[in-house]
Amino acid sequence: MEAEEHGPRPERRVLVIDDDEADCCLVEDILTSDGIDVEKAVGGETGVRILSKKFFPVIVTDLKMPDIDGLGVIDFVKKRGMESLVIVITGYVSIDSVIGALRSGAYDYIIKPFSAELLRLTVERAFDYIELMKNREKAKYLDAISLLARTTAHEIAQPLTLVIGRTKEICDNVKNPEVKELADQVLEYARKIKDIVRKIDSINEYVIKSYPGGHTLVDIDKASSTSKEDP
């Protein structure tokens, strides 16, 4: 059997914060077995120091710690504007402490002692939530692109239709062969532009293509669903 070439996906990273190193190692062993990249911080102060340098999508922190507690970690994340989800672990079965953590901004909580399965499910649910939010943002971005594309297509289509109509009149009535040839060329290019406008108006997904030099553009052929030909 070949060795795994790739490590855990970069986005599946968790910072575990606990003043008890044994508890940190326990959480690390459970999560790494699921292919999650885990970094440990023994104590809240160490955790905050790591967070000031690195971003973690999910943070698992003990609630009660002697230096900086779980609420302090949540406060640090909020003040820094981080989009990390914080899961609080507590050995104190107190509704007030749990509600306080959730009100402060914790995503979820786990009460000690906990099973490996509960930890896995809670962390996996956090990653699922992050993915859901990403998809929603992508959908909003695509909606904005589609609206801009439709508006642009509409603004171009109106004067372009007028250009095509007048050019057709010239082609039908002009006697001079050179002028007629020039008008035919204008009509041909105008129809090509109109086809591009139709594709822009029909963009329904965000597909890009790359060019030499690092340039990227929207691939309107693949991004649009139009298959009509200009009459």
Instruction: Calculate the CA dihedral of residues 159, 162, 167, 173 and round it to 10 degrees.
Output: -160
- Structural domains for the chain: 13-114 (3.40.50.2300), 136-223 (1.10.287)
CA distance 187 to 164: 6
**pTM for the model:** 0.62
Q: Are residues 171 and 184 in contact, defined by beta-carbon separation less than 8 angstroms?
A: yes
The widest CA-to-CA distance across the chain, in whole angstroms, is 94
pLDDT in tens, the chain (231 residues): 333 433 444 479 999 999 999 999 999 999 999 999 999 999 999 999 999 999 999 999 999 999 899 999 999 999 999 989 999 998 766 677 778 888 888 999 998 888 999 999 999 999 999 988 888 877 777 777 777 777 877 788 778 888 888 888 888 888 888 888 888 888 888 888 888 887 777 766 667 677 776 677 767 777 675 444 444
